[in-house]
Structure 1
């Protein structure tokens, strides 16, 4: 998917958001490919970077500044192609659904050769950490998330092959 630009408060953000990471030797296993659980770490790191960039608060600071947490209630990955040391992976984050208190993400990792390495659907829920009950998405984030979703939809529709 070709990135478009999302304009929010004089800030240009790419949509969809892409986090780049280089595979390190320590990320791999005896088969000389990325160890399975490290794919989840890559996706978590990319999602934290999405929060920091798009919402201007990393995952941890949501608790400190807004009194909410965002635990995952779903996290799965489908593995499609291996990654090797020194390869750069591009991890794309697309918000596929926004509820009153929840966000669902499609997270896709693509190798430098354009081959998709992994893809997964992740869902998190904003909660009050004291009651452990769901909490509404902080109002300040809703327009940013909606604008991001709209920009990603626009990017996807402009990149579809024309009949």
Structure 2
């Protein structure tokens, strides 16, 4: 996914303010579901009442990004559990890794906020994607 760095993403030093990256990560996960897994994220949230809250996040900031740069965010599925998954999201600009984040998310019911097993259709789509990542 392409993410242009905008004025609103930057701090007074002119570089991306680090919490903005986590918002970009969340957008990348939404796009990954809709475009990479062919599962409409809005339908999953609003109709199926399934959420994917982040329960752990970390990031290595390698090179600062500035307004006018365009980051390419790639999503790798590193681990697929019963109700959780671990994603690696790398951000690159012109072939240079700018940041690398790791997110652990848990599939939850939005009715009672309890963890639930990943539904079979979503699990199968993730397995196909993961196989593509490994090759």
**2:126 — aligned with what?**
145
Distance 1:121 1:108, change over 3 A: same
What's 1:74 paired with?
56
1:159 equivalent in structure 2: none
Q: Which one of the candidate residues 122, 134, 137 is aligned to 2:103?
A: 122
Q: TM-score, normalised by structure 1?
A: 0.77
10, 24, 27: which one aligns with 2:6: 24
Q: Tell me if structure 2 keeps the 8 A contact 1:59–1:70.
A: no
Indicate if the aligned counterparts of 1:66 and 1:138 stay in contact, CA closer than 8 A.
no
Q: Deviations over 1:6-54 (max 9, x none)?
A: xxxxxxxxxxxxx111111221111111111111112111111101112
Aligned: 1:108 with 2:98:
no
Q: Report the 3-state secondary structure (helix = DSSP H, G, I; strand = E; otherwise coil) of the residue aligned with 2:2.
A: strand
Give a deviation string over 1:111-138, Cα, whole Å, max 9, x none: 12x2211111101111122232211111
Which of residues 61, 64, 84 in structure 1 aligns to 2:46? 64
Stretches of structure 1 lacking an aligned partner (at least 5 in a row): 1-18, 155-163
Question: What is the Cα deviation at residue 58 of structure 1?
Answer: 4.4
Offset from partner CA, 1:53-73 (integer Å, 9 cap, x none): 123334443122322211111
Residue among 105, 116, 127 paired with 1:135: 116
Note the aligned Cα RMSD (angstroms).
Answer: 1.4
Tell me, which stretches of 5 or more residues in structure 2 are unaligned? none
Q: Which residue of 2 aligns with 1:94?
A: 76
Aligned pair in 2 of structure 1 residues 37, 81: CA closer, same or farther (>3 Å)? same
Q: Which residue of 1 aligns with 2:26?
A: 44
CA distance in 1, matches of 2:80, 2:52: 13
